[in-house]
Amino acid sequence: MNDPTPLPLIRLDAVWKSYGERDARVDALAGVSFSMERGEFVAITGPSGSGKSTAMNIIGCLDTPTAGNYRFLDLDAGRLDRNRRAALRNAHIGFVFQGYNLLPRTTALENVELPLIYRGVPPRERRERSADALQQVGLQGREHHAPMELSGGQQQRVAIARALVSAPTLLVADEPTGNLDTKRSREIMDLLIMLNRERGMSILLVTHEAEIAACAGREIRFHDGRIADDRRQTEAR
């Protein structure tokens, strides 16, 4: 008997997100449909107000659709209550943001440990896992440095290690190079490409920069709350 076709990692079917009512209604998303498979590296792009951040919030279980259906591993994630969405996020989704969001008075290792503390992982195991995550992003030897002792690129690597330490099913990166210069941006994108190609990490990248989006294997471009283009890229740069 043939194996069944694997379920997509995420699937949006005719998803709407609206704010306000009647004449004051604004449709941030207007009937968006697409799916993403495990192991894909997908960039969501578009200008400000195009709907890309709204789509990311729904995919990351930070928000819910007004209408339509959003499924994560075939779970009806769009209709979960706040607590069950939080549980899904904690179990399956790692986030990397433009602003790093590191605690300033704690070391790199302690910052990476945070998700494991919330999960109740014993101290010795979480230290070992956190040190391994920092090694994965090239920061061995920097475990005991505070954020102010690290460059912007190194701080973003700590943030990526923190997202990876829980072994997420999906890594969501929201403008991860927005605060970095060209060289550091390239380093961060090379790291994400490595995680995707060599370790099979599923990555959803949100960016308004064409050069950053070109690093992904697929680009979905939003405009006025709709998908304007969805294309695969032959070779990430």
**How far, in Å, CA of 110 to CA of 113, rounded?**
5
**How far, in Å, CA of 56 to CA of 60, rounded?**
6
Dihedral sign (CA 157, 147, 180, 182): negative
**Residues with Cβ within 8 Å of residue 197, at least 6 apart in sequence:** none
What values do phi and psi take at 216, rounded to 5? -85, 160
Residue 139, CA distances (Å) to 62, 65, 112, 158 in order: 30, 39, 12, 8
- Model confidence over 106-151: pLDDT tens digits? 999 999 999 999 888 999 999 999 999 999 999 999 999 999 999 9
**Cα radius of gyration rounded to whole Å, the chain:** 18
* Residue 52: closest CA among 175, 214, 171: 175
Determine the pLDDT at residue 125.
96
Low-confidence residues of the chain: pLDDT under 70: 1-5, 234-237
* Residue 34: closest CA among 237, 236, 218: 218
Residue 26, CA distances (Å) to 166, 178, 224 in order: 37, 27, 10
Determine the pLDDT at residue 2.
57
DSSP label at residue 75? B
Determine the pLDDT at residue 100.
85
CATH classification code of 10-232 = 3.40.50.300
Question: Domain extents for the chain?
Answer: 10-232
Dihedral sign (CA 216, 155, 60, 195): positive
pTM: 0.91
Determine the pLDDT at residue 3.
56
Alpha helices in 138-199 (DSSP H): 152-164, 182-199
CA angle 135, 186, 143 (to 5 degrees): 25
